Amino acid sequence: MLNPYHLQAQATFYLKTMGCQMNEHDSEVITGILMSLGYVSTDSVDEADLILYNTCSVRENPERKVYGQIARFRALKAKKPNLIIGICGCMTQQKEELTAILRKLPHVDLIFGTHNIHRLPELLERATSGDRVVEVWDEGQEIIEELPVRRSNTLKAFVNIIYGCTNFCTYCIVPYTRGKERSRRPELIYDEICQLAQAGYKEITLLGQNVNAYGRDLGLENDFAQLLHELNKVPDLSRIRFTTSHPKDMKDNLITAIASLDKVCEHLHLPVQAGSNHVLKAMNRGYSREYYLDLVARIKKAVPTISLTTDLIVGFPGESDEDFQETLSLVEEVGFSSSFTFLYSPRKGTPAAKMTAQVPEDIKKERIYRLIALQNDLSAKHMQTLLGQRLEVLVDGVAEQSGDLTGRTRTNKQVLFSGSSDLVGQTVNVIIKMAQTWILRGELV
């Protein structure tokens, strides 16, 4: 491939990705750009000419790890002066964090943000010629289309439909690191997915911090449900998934779309965060416990096979034992098939970090253990209900050790079964014979 930057042959990069699917997809774009510049990927930091960390700020722990890990590359850099060390992603978008990176990690050469990934070729060229390059934009301009993408999977693809978030949940850093809501044009989304389907992709996951807000900023008639109706027509595509849905923006026409469109899978990730009205209000979530439970009841009625998953924050400021009990009872009442549980982590610059009634760490931990125990129980029970059922499975690979085929049900449960590797990429029917907490085993029909 033509290399406009005259890199030496086979310059290598090591890219580490933290955080959510937005970041995973951004890393696919970064990889695409680097490969178009002639770089090849490596898993070894010792071999790399470029080490790049795509960071996440949503909780404190991963941020701390970034400082620790990058500090260790100082020795590497001393041995290899031409090594470029870069940081991008959500950490760079916060002024204080950026200042801390510059101060604590003087050996970092290249820093860019979430809004200017497309500028990587020029920034990298400046960094390789010896400059320390820092370029972070405050807000996304218009959406940059047509960037090269190197996808990490050949069957399943992520497709962004909306960038940013304007909800300002009081605990959350994302609106500050990703800017305001910006939807992609529906025709561009449609075209991208048609191309993916033609290239052999079978499943797409539509991405956004709140896909249910899709179209609002475009001033178009199109809302998310209408987009799904359009995308359901893409030839040769088997499955459509999406994440994340904000409960407050979940409209009836979306429930109908999930129920009626054959490609749209019966899995809904619907983060509730907490079960008590007082905590939900302090979080600025924009719905009550009663609203959420009613929404779930309507969804279950319209789509009886739906698998519901959620995110939960434990130990939000002011959360009392009674509030936490309400989270437990909500989780039990809904019967989520799985959930992501997080200890509340104060984020600088968010309103919740300044709230006075912070919950002590040991109480947070004690609560999360109880929540996880309950969820494990519910997950196991949910899997048991699938025993004996005949389920549609998209075969996605061959298990390394056993040689069994692996695949996912429409509700996103992993299934193992024996069969020929020719089936990879196809949709088959499997009868479930054994149910463990996280994995099903079955027999090909």
The reply on whether position 22 binds ligand SF4 by CB under 6 A is no
Q: Are strands 390-398 and 405-409 parallel, antiparallel or unpaired?
A: antiparallel
Q: Is the dihedral of CA 144, 242, 153, 173 positive or negative?
A: positive
255 near ligand SF4, judged by CB under 6 A: no
Q: Which stretch binds ligand F3S (CB under 6 A): 51-59, 73-81, 234-242, 424-432?
A: 51-59
- How far apart are alpha carbons 302 and 142 in whole angstroms? 38
| CA-based nearest residue to 413, from 396, 401, 398 | 396
Half-sphere exposure of 147 (CA within 13 A, CB side): 25
Pick between residue 286 and residue 397 the one whose CB is nearest to ligand SF4. Answer: 286
From the list ligand F3S, ligand SAH, ligand SF4, none, which binds 168 (C-beta under 5 to 8 Å, kind-based)? ligand SF4
In this chain, which stretch among 32-40, 168-176, 183-191, 408-416 interacts with ligand SAH, using CB under 6 A?
Answer: 168-176
Q: Does 90 bind ligand F3S (CB under 6 A)?
A: yes
CA 292 to chain centre: 22
> φ and ψ at 266, to 5 degrees?
-90, 60
**Piece of the chain touching ligand SAH by CB under 6 A; list 250-258, 337-345, 361-369, 433-441:** 337-345
Q: Determine, following the binding rule CB under 6 A, whether residue 58 of this chain makes contact with ligand SAH.
A: yes
Q: Are 84 and 45 in contact (CB under 8 A)?
A: no
- In the list 17, 23, 92, 209, the residue contacting ligand SF4 (rule: CB under 6 A) is 209
Interface with ligand SF4: number of residues (CB under 6 A): 10
Q: Which of 345, 375, 409, 411 binds ligand SAH (CB under 6 A)?
A: 345
* 53 CB-side CA count, 13 A: 25
Q: Site for ligand SAH (CB under 6 A): which residue of 126, 256, 342, 351?
A: 342
- Least distance (Å) between residue 19 CB and ligand F3S: 3
- Between CA 49 and CA 204 the distance in angstroms is 33
Q: How far is the CB of 280 from ligand SF4 (least distance, A)?
A: 12
CA distance 83 to 51: 8
Residue 23 in the binding site for ligand SF4 (CB under 6 A): no
Which two tokens mark 200?
């052999």
Element spanning 261, H or E: none
Residues 381 and 316: their CA atoms lie apart, in Å, by: 28
Instruction: Please report how close the Cβ of residue 169 comes to ligand SF4 at its closest, in angstroms.
Output: 3
Pick 134 or 353: Cβ nearer ligand SF4: 353
Which amino acid is present at 310? T
182 near ligand SF4 (CB under 6 A)? no
Residue with Cβ nearer ligand SAH (174 or 378): 174
Measure the CA–CA gap between 218 and 227, rounded to whole angstroms.
13
Q: Determine which helix (DSSP H) or strand (DSSP E) holds 258, and give its type and residue range.
A: helix 252-260
Instruction: Pick between residue 239 and residue 347 the one whose CB is nearest to ligand SAH.
Output: 347
Secondary structure (3-state) at 368: helix
The DSSP line for 136-204 is --SS--SPPP------S-SSEEEEE-EE------TT--HHHHH-S-EEPPHHHHHHHHHHHHHTT--EE
Which of 175, 318, 346, 397 lies at the binding interface for ligand SF4 (CB under 6 A)?
Answer: 175
- Of all residues in the shown chain, the one whose CB is closest to ligand F3S is 19
In angstroms, the Cα distances linking 167 to 90, 106, 345 are: 17, 35, 18
Q: Tell me the closest approach of the beta carbon of residue 131 to ligand SAH, in angstroms.
A: 34
Q: Which of 110, 172, 331, 430 lies at the binding interface for ligand SAH (CB under 6 A)?
A: 172
- When asked if residue 22 is in the footprint of ligand F3S (CB under 6 A), the reply is yes
Q: Is 177 in the site for ligand F3S (CB under 6 A)?
A: yes
CA-derived radius of gyration, the chain: 23
Asked if residue 91 lies in contact with residue 56, where contact means CB atoms within 8 angstroms, the answer is: yes
Site membership for ligand SAH, residue 174 (CB under 6 A):
yes
The Cα–Cα gap between 396 and 426 comes to: 8
User: Which parts of 134-173 interact with ligand F3S (CB under 6 A)?
Assistant: 173
Q: Residue 182 has which token pair?
A: 């910006």
* From 29-37, 95-103, 169-177, 410-418, span contacting ligand SAH (CB under 6 A): 169-177
Nearest distance from C-beta of residue 420 to ligand SAH, angstroms: 39
Task: By CB under 6 A, name the binding residues for ligand SF4.
Answer: 165, 167-169, 172, 174-175, 209-210, 246
Task: By CB under 6 A, name the binding residues for ligand F3S.
Answer: 19-20, 22-23, 56-58, 90, 173-174, 177-178
Task: By CB under 6 A, name the binding residues for ligand SAH.
Answer: 58-59, 165, 171-172, 174, 209-210, 244, 246, 271, 273, 311, 313, 342, 344-345, 347
